[in-house]
Amino acid sequence: MSEADGLRQRRPVRPQVVTDDARVPEAKGGSSFSGRVFRATFLMLAVFLTVPLLGAMMLLDSPIDPQPLSFKEPPLLLGVLQPNTKLRQAERLFENQLVGPESIAHIGDVMFTGTADGRVVKLENGEVETIARFGSGPCKTRDDEPACGRPLGIRAGPNGTLFVADAYKGLFEVNPWKREVKLLLSSETPIEGRKMSFVNDLTVTRDGRKIYFTDSSSKWQRRDYLLLVMEGTDDGRFYVSGLMKGGADLFVENLPGFPDNIRASSSGGYWVGMSTIRSNPGFSMLDFLSERPYLKRMIFKLFSQETVMKFVPRYSLVLELSDSGAFRRSLHDPDGQVAAYVSEVHEHDGHLYLGSFRSPFLCRLRLQSA
C-alpha cells in the first residue's frame, strides 16, 4: 500500500472536548454527599459546644449582681480632647524593676511609690530600695494580695514622712529615713458599722493633722476591682470630717474616660489619670454594657477577670482640669505603646510622672506649656 493510499484510509482523529455537562451527575452526587457530611459535622460540633455553654450559663452563679446604669453620651473627642500621641514622648523609668507602681510622691528630689508585691520603695540615683512592707508572705499573684498587702495612694506629709493607703491593711505613716512604720487606721476597724474592703487613695491637710481617704467598696477587694467596676453599685465611701461631713458637691461629670487618682497641677487645676477611655466617635465597651446587666452576668460566668482585661483597649489618657472642672488639655497614647494603664499623674519639677496599676515601670514626661 502506497503512502497516498494509507493517508486516504486514515480518519482524522477529532479531539475530545470534556465539558462540565459530562461530569454534572457525578459532581452533583459527590457535592450533595459532602454537603450532608459537612452539615452533620457542623451540627454535631454546634451541639457539643452549645449544650455545655447553655448548661454553664444556667447552672453557674455569676460573681456579680449588676444593676443597669445610664451614662450620658461621652463627650466628643474634639478640640481639647482631640486624640494625639503626646504620651508616647514619655520615657520609661525603672523598667522591669517595679510591678504596678500605682501612686507617686516626692520628698525633695527623692521619689517614692508602692508596688504590687506589697512594698513601699525609694527611687534614687537609679536604685530601688525597699523601705516598708505592711504584710508578709509570698507576693506573686493576685490571690496573695490580702496577706501581702497592696500599697496604693501615697502622699508626702509636711514633716518628711509618707502617708500610705494600703488596699487591705489600712492607713500608715512611714518614716522613709528611719524605716519606721506606724499604723494609723486598720482596715479591720469598722466605720459606721461597716468594714473597709478596698482602701484606695488619700490626701493630707497642709498641717498633717487630718487625712481624707476613700474606701472604694465595702464588698469587693482590690484584687476584684474589675468585678467592682462591672457591678457598678455605689457601695464606696469617702471620709470627711468637719462642716462637709456627709456631703459632697459635683465637680465634673461625663468625663471622656474612667478616672483613677487625682493630683494637683501647678496651674491650680488637677491631673486625672485614665487607663481606658469612652470613645466618641467609636465604641465604648463599658458604656455598652452599662445598660445590659444580663450580659455582664454572662461574661463573668464564663470568663475570668484576667481574660476580660485582655479585651479592654490599652488606650491611655491624661486629662488636666481647671479649678472649675473645665477640660484644659489632654495627653494620649492611643495604643498604650509607651504609657499603659495610667493610674496617676504626679507633677514635680517640670515633669509629669505617670503611675500605673499594672505596668512594670514608671513614665516621665517633660511638661510643655498648655
Task: Give the global pTM.
Answer: 0.83
Q: How far is CA 247 from CA 99, 190, 236, 239, 271, in A?
A: 36, 20, 14, 10, 23
Residue 355 domain boundaries: 63-366
Q: How far is CA 79 from CA 76, 127, 211, 254, 329, in A?
A: 9, 41, 37, 16, 9
DSSP string, 169-192: TEEEEEETTTTEEEEEEETTS-BT
| 3 state DSSP class of 345 | strand
| 3 state DSSP class of 260 | strand
Give a yes or no: residue 25 inside a domain: no
User: What's the confidence (pLDDT) of residue 313?
Assistant: 86
Other C-beta atoms closer than 10 Å to the C-beta of 363 total 27
Q: Looking at the predicted structure, is the pLDDT value of residue 25 above 50?
A: no
Give a yes or no: residue 181 inside a domain: yes
Residue 265's domain is classified under what CATH number?
2.120.10.30
Q: What's the chain's length in residues?
A: 370
- Starting at the edge strand that comes first in sequence, how are the strands of the sheet with 119-124 ordered? 104-107, 110-114, 119-124, 127-133
Write the pLDDT tens digit of every residue in 178-223. Answer: 999 999 999 999 988 888 999 999 999 999 889 999 999 989 999 9
Decide: 226 and 309 in contact? Cβ < 8 Å: yes
Q: How far is 231 from 290, CA to CA, in rounded Å?
A: 9
Give a yes or no: residue 27 inside a domain: no
Query: Which residues face 165 on adjacent strands?
Result: 171
Structural domain count of the chain: 1
Write the pLDDT tens digit of every residue in 223-259. Answer: 999 999 999 888 877 766 555 566 678 899 999 999 9
User: What's the confidence (pLDDT) of residue 49?
Assistant: 60
Give a yes or no: residue 222 inside a domain: yes
Is residue 6 very low, low, confident or very high in pLDDT (cuts 50, 70, 90)?
Answer: very low
Q: Looking at the predicted structure, is the pLDDT value of residue 162 above 90?
A: yes
Is residue 48 very low, low, confident or very high in pLDDT (cuts 50, 70, 90)?
Answer: low
Which has more confidence, 31 or 345? Answer: 345
User: What's the confidence (pLDDT) of residue 325?
Assistant: 96
Please report the beta strands in 147-291, taking only residues with DSSP state E, as ranges in sequence order. Answer: 151-156, 162-166, 170-175, 180-186, 199-204, 211-215, 237-239, 257-264, 270-277
Is residue 166 very low, low, confident or very high in pLDDT (cuts 50, 70, 90)?
Answer: very high
User: What's the confidence (pLDDT) of residue 34?
Assistant: 65
DSSP category for residue 265? -
Which has more confidence, 189 or 26? Answer: 189
Decide: 258 and 286 in contact? Cβ < 8 Å: yes
Give a yes or no: residue 10 inside a domain: no
Q: Looking at the predicted structure, is the pLDDT value of residue 18 above 60?
A: no
Q: How far is 244 from 249, CA to CA, in rounded Å?
A: 10
Is residue 16 very low, low, confident or very high in pLDDT (cuts 50, 70, 90)?
Answer: very low
CA angle 276–281–283, rounded 5-degree value = 55
Go through 132-150 and write b for each residue having 16 or more CB atoms within 10 A of its CB, e for each that does not: bbbbeeebeebebbbebbb
Rg of the chain over CA atoms, in angstroms?
31
Give a yes or no: residue 33 inside a domain: no
Residues near 204 by beta carbon (within 8 Å), at least 6 away in sequence: 155, 157, 158, 163, 210, 211, 212
Helix, strand, coil tally for the chain in percent (to 5):
25, 30, 45
User: What's the confidence (pLDDT) of residue 320?
Assistant: 98
DSSP string, 23-86: GHHHHHHHHHHHHHHHHHHHHHHHHHHHHHHHHHHHHSPPS-------PPPPPPS-GGG----G
Q: How far is 275 from 210, CA to CA, in rounded Å?
A: 29
User: Mean pLDDT across the chain, nearest whole number?
Assistant: 87
User: What's the confidence (pLDDT) of residue 265?
Assistant: 97
Give a yes or no: residue 3 inside a domain: no
Q: Looking at the predicted structure, is the pLDDT value of residue 121 above 80?
A: yes
Give a yes or no: residue 176 inside a domain: yes
Q: How far is 307 from 2, CA to CA, in rounded Å?
A: 89
